[in-house]
Amino acid sequence: MFQSLQYASVFLAFSSFAVAAETGRRAKCTVKVVRKPWDMLTSKERSAYIDAELCLMAAPSQLNIPGTETRWDDLHWNHIVQANFIHDVGQFLPWHRYYIAIHGDLLRNECGYTGPLPYWDETADSALPSLESASIFQPDAFGGNGVGSGPQKYIADGPFANSTLHLKRLGVAPADYKIYRDLNARTLIGGAQATIDACFQISTYTAAWECWAGLPHSSGHGATGGLMVDVVLSPGDPVFYLHHGWLDAMWWKWQSLDLPNRLKDMGGRNIPRESYVGNIGLPLPGPEWTNHDGDDGSVTTLNHVLYMSDMYPNVTVADVMDVRGDVVCAEYFYNDSFTFTMSRIVDGIIVFDTIIS
Ligand SMILES: [Cu+2]
């Protein structure tokens, strides 16, 4: 009974899918929201950010899907319901760009946060011998490693140790559970200089998104471990937003290298590979998704609809291509030590430039 109710609400949500796609968020971007590495926030900003996260976890749900109790659950639902449609496809980067922008909006509009939005500088932390010494995993930040001997190691310190999540994967009845983690520094190799350099050297989105979605994306999830390695449920851990903030900062830096072309450069399949969804235990997306995706064929275009489960207006990929635009309205700052290597062709020879941002 519960399962059919939950699915019914998914399909109800689709009734406004195409209409909402045309509305979008059109407020003028006047003051851009600053995004920086966690370590660049003042201690006052860090604690205000954490307080705002706790506020979202306590605020009542506005979606009122069966099982959602809090605003945090609303965000969680939005990712859960379409996990087999937003990963392993061209819209992977733009969808998550919009998703983290909405999270930032909720912090500001519903929880009164006014500071910068932090991201996890994974390149800086990729050389750490143990992630337990990383600043984001301290008790005054997001708490440390999970503890215990069970299959799920629950975090026991920091501000989120008592946070309660409610939603599970589709078809599994909601139940209270805590955030679990299993830190593993070795897997942060995907944030290492050599790995991101390989992505910076690619010149088309069609090839670059797969590079960013590969090691740089998966290693932040794997290094945090626990809930973060569940492709469906990972946004339950607030570290998710710092990880995807970093990935988006990398995509924006990549776009910035050739803005005239890369503000319009989109591509990639719009249906995930069967092997991919099979590995994460999900079915391929059906016509309830694919008939409304905004693309003419099997390739992701600028017209592709970024669906937001009725918690926020849907927009198109085109709407989020420029982070300085009205929908995202952000400005990225990078650590002083941030460097990357990109290639260019001079007289038929590939030259590698190391760029210090
Ligand atoms: Cu995701």
Residue 154 CA, ligand 1 centroid: distance in Å: 21
Residue 245 CA, ligand 1 centroid: distance in Å: 12
Q: What is the pLDDT of residues 68-113, one digit of tens each?
A: 999 999 999 999 999 999 999 999 999 999 999 999 999 999 999 9
Q: How far is CA 49 from CA 143, 159, 168, 173, 191, in A?
A: 14, 11, 26, 31, 24
Residue 279 CA, ligand 1 centroid: distance in Å: 15
Helix axes 215-224, 205-213, angle to 10 degrees: 20
Query: What integer pLDDT is reported at residue 349 of this predicted model?
Result: 81
Residue 96 CA, ligand 1 centroid: distance in Å: 6
What lies within 8 Å, CB to CB, of 278 at 6+ separation is none
Residue 51 CA, ligand 1 centroid: distance in Å: 24
Burial profile 53-76: b = 16 or more Cβ within 10 angstroms, e = fewer: bbbbbebebebebebbbbbbbbbb
Residue 172 CA, ligand 1 centroid: distance in Å: 19
Check if the beta carbon of residue 61 is closer than 8 Å to that of residue 311.
no
Q: What is the pLDDT of residues 105-151, one digit of tens each?
A: 999 999 999 999 999 999 999 989 899 999 999 999 999 999 998 88
Residue 135 CA, ligand 1 centroid: distance in Å: 23
Q: Which residue has the tokens 């905004």?
A: 294
Q: Sketch out the chain's domains with CATH numbers.
A: 26-261+318-356 (1.10.1280.10)
As to burial, measured by CB atoms within 10 angstroms (0-12 exposed, 13-18 middle, 19+ buried), residue 348 is exposed
Query: What integer pLDDT is reported at residue 356 of this predicted model?
Result: 77
Residue 238 CA, ligand 1 centroid: distance in Å: 13
Residue 83 CA, ligand 1 centroid: distance in Å: 7
Q: What is the pLDDT of residues 172-221, one digit of tens each?
A: 999 999 999 999 977 798 999 999 999 999 999 999 999 999 999 999 99
Instruction: Please give the share of the chain, as a percent, with pLDDT higher than 90.
Output: 83
Q: How far apart are CA 259 and CA 210, in angstroms?
A: 19
Kindly state the tokens that stand for 151. Answer: 């299959």
Residue 344 CA, ligand 1 centroid: distance in Å: 32
Residue 280 CA, ligand 1 centroid: distance in Å: 12
Residue 259 CA, ligand 1 centroid: distance in Å: 25
Check if the beta carbon of residue 111 is closer than 8 Å to that of residue 200.
no
Q: How far apart are CA 306 and CA 314, in angstroms?
A: 6
Beta bridge partners of 33: 330
As a whole number, the mean pLDDT across the chain is 91
Residue 264 CA, ligand 1 centroid: distance in Å: 22
Residue 63 CA, ligand 1 centroid: distance in Å: 19
Residue 162 CA, ligand 1 centroid: distance in Å: 24
Q: Which residue has the tokens 């009542």?
A: 60
As to burial, measured by CB atoms within 10 angstroms (0-12 exposed, 13-18 middle, 19+ buried), residue 29 is middle
Q: What is the pLDDT of residues 245-298, one digit of tens each?
A: 999 999 999 999 999 999 999 999 999 999 999 999 999 999 989 999 999 999
Residue 232 CA, ligand 1 centroid: distance in Å: 7
Dmax over Cα atoms in the chain, in whole Å?
67
Residue 230 CA, ligand 1 centroid: distance in Å: 9
Q: How far apart are CA 25 and CA 282, in angstroms?
A: 31
Residue 231 CA, ligand 1 centroid: distance in Å: 6
Residue 147 CA, ligand 1 centroid: distance in Å: 25
Q: How far apart are CA 305 and CA 316, in angstroms?
A: 4
Residue 75 CA, ligand 1 centroid: distance in Å: 11
